[in-house]
């Protein structure tokens, strides 16, 4: 019999919560029968939603609290708000080994700070990294750090390479991690001193868990020749926001072009299937779920603005990470 995975869910964070959270749980549960959901939030709001859902009552528990982290709270204010918030209690559930993993669509800064306050770092890792999934021509890539650390040392970037590779293997066990450092050029002489030193050290490391492929430029991330892209948080966050903005611009302009004239409307009808595939490829809900790596327990951040489909997809990320023992993979690979 398969071990039941327990996910601690902060039900009060993000837009349209807790409704979208419960809708997401319902959708995820329809595809998975191996997860128990510990739902943290206001029972007075959550229970009426649950009563209308087709969710087995034996696979969830609602832990009541009326306190929650607000989206506009600073990280300091969120931590000060107290230990009875839904986010804090969900993280504490993992800390106390009552849950395997925690997910929240709430305030990102608050989640990072409260997680670091409650969950210890993996031994020999100095800084946690925020990682995310990135579509490519050949499947899916892991990109990190996406904003947890503005400045990084060569050791940090090497740790990120190991953690990102472990994450890829947890999500896609059949894939061999191929690591590259995000840089302004592919030549060895390009980049700052930290990234050049990291390049030199990664070239000397013999690691069966991943293959080091050198530098990669931003324009080649989606080629799919590498599937783990490593950067400091400043560079990674700019790359992520630029990619998101470009994708939104392309889809918006394409929609406008298809509606602007009779020829555009006819063209959209003729190309209907191709346009559906294009739209699906760029649908951010399919890649929802940033992962905070480096702590002794996994922490998942769902995008606050996503809908229930996006949240359900991030629950799938939770399930895969817990099932495939991500933390053990990192611990076994870190020196």
Once rounded to an integer, what is the mean pLDDT over residues 159-173? 95
Once rounded to an integer, what is the mean pLDDT over residues 219-223? 90
CATH of the domain at 266: 3.40.718.10
The token duo for 259 is 């509606």
Lowest mean pLDDT among 114-118, 227-231, 240-244, 273-277: 273-277
Q: What domain range includes position 276?
A: 126-285
Claim to verify: residue 121 and residue 132 sit in the same structural domain: no
Higher-pLDDT residue of 66 and 188 is 66
Q: How many of the other CB atoms lie within 10 Å of CB of 261?
A: 10
Claim to verify: residue 28 and residue 158 sit in the same structural domain: no
Under the banding of pLDDT at 50, 70 and 90, the label for residue 41 is: very high
Mean pLDDT of the chain: 88
Q: How long a stretch of residues is the chain?
A: 335
Identify the pLDDT of residue 262.
67
d(CA 261, CA 285): 30
Higher-pLDDT residue of 159 and 285 is 159
Claim to verify: residue 20 and residue 133 sit in the same structural domain: no
d(CA 140, CA 205): 25
pLDDT, one tens digit per residue, over 244-275 is 787 778 777 767 766 766 655 655 555 656 55
Claim to verify: residue 227 and residue 301 sit in the same structural domain: no
pLDDT, one tens digit per residue, over 283-307 is 667 777 799 999 999 999 998 888 9
Is the previous residue joined to 25 through a cis bond, with omega within 30 degrees of 0?
no
d(CA 41, CA 10): 7
Q: Is pLDDT above 60 for 194?
A: yes
Claim to verify: residue 149 and residue 266 sit in the same structural domain: yes
Claim to verify: residue 192 and residue 255 sit in the same structural domain: yes
Claim to verify: residue 130 and residue 117 sit in the same structural domain: no
Structural domains in the chain (count): 2
Higher-pLDDT residue of 20 and 252 is 20
- Report the share of the chain in percent with pLDDT over 90: 59
Higher-pLDDT residue of 3 and 326 is 326
pTM recorded for the entire structure: 0.88
d(CA 199, CA 221): 17
78 and 104 Cβ atoms separated by less than 8 Å: no
Claim to verify: residue 163 and residue 268 sit in the same structural domain: yes
Claim to verify: residue 196 and residue 305 sit in the same structural domain: no
Claim to verify: residue 134 and residue 262 sit in the same structural domain: yes
Identify the pLDDT of residue 266.
57
Identify the pLDDT of residue 258.
66
Produce one character per residue of 186-216: b if its CB has 16 or more CB atoms within 10 Å, e if not.
eeeeebeebbbbbbeebeeeebebbebbebb
Claim to verify: residue 52 and residue 188 sit in the same structural domain: no
Claim to verify: residue 115 and residue 139 sit in the same structural domain: no
Q: Is pLDDT above 90 for 90?
A: yes
Measure Cα distances from 187 to 37, 234, 235 in Å: 48, 21, 18
312 and 21 Cβ atoms separated by less than 8 Å: no
pLDDT, one tens digit per residue, over 74-86 is 877 877 777 899 9
130 and 164 Cβ atoms separated by less than 8 Å: no
């Amino acid at each position: 019999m398969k071990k039941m995975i327990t996910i601690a869910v902060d039900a009060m964070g993000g837009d349209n919560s807790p409704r979208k959270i419960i809708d997401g749980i319902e959708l995820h549960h329809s595809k998975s029968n191996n997860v128990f959901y510990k739902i943290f939030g206001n029972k007075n709001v959550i229970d009426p939603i649950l009563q209308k859902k087709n969710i087995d009552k034996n696979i969830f528990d609602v832990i009541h609290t009326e306190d929650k982290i607000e989206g506009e709270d600073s990280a300091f204010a969120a931590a000060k708000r107290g230990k009875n918030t839904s986010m804090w209690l969900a993280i504490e559930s993992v800390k106390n080994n009552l849950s395997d993993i925690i997910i929240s669509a709430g305030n990102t800064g608050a989640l990072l700070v409260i997680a670091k306050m409650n969950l210890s770092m993996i031994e020999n890792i100095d800084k946690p990294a925020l990682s995310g999934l990135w579509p490519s021509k050949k499947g899916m890539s892991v990109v990190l750090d996406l904003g947890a650390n503005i400045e990084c040392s060569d050791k940090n970037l090497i740790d990120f390479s190991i953690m990102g590779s472990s994450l890829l293997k947890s999500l896609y066990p059949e894939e061999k991690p191929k690591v590259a450092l995000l840089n302004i050029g592919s030549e060895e002489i390009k980049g700052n001193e930290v990234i050049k030193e990291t390049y030199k050290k990664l070239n000397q490391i013999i690691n069966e868990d991943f293959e080091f492929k050198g530098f990669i430029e931003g324009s080649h991330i989606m080629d799919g020749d590498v599937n783990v892209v490593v950067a400091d948080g400043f560079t990674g966050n700019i790359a992520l926001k630029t990619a998101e903005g470009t994708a939104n611009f392309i889809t918006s302009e394409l929609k406008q072009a298809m509606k602007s004239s009779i020829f555009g409307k006819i063209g959209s009808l003729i190309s209907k299937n191709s346009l559906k595939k294009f739209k699906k490829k760029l649908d951010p809900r399919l890649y929802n779920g940033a992962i905070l790596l480096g702590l002794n327990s996994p922490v998942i951040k769902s995008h606050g603005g996503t809908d229930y489909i996006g949240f359900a997809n991030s629950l799938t990320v939770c399930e895969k990470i817990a099932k495939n023992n991500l933390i053990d993979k990192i611990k076994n690979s870190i020196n």
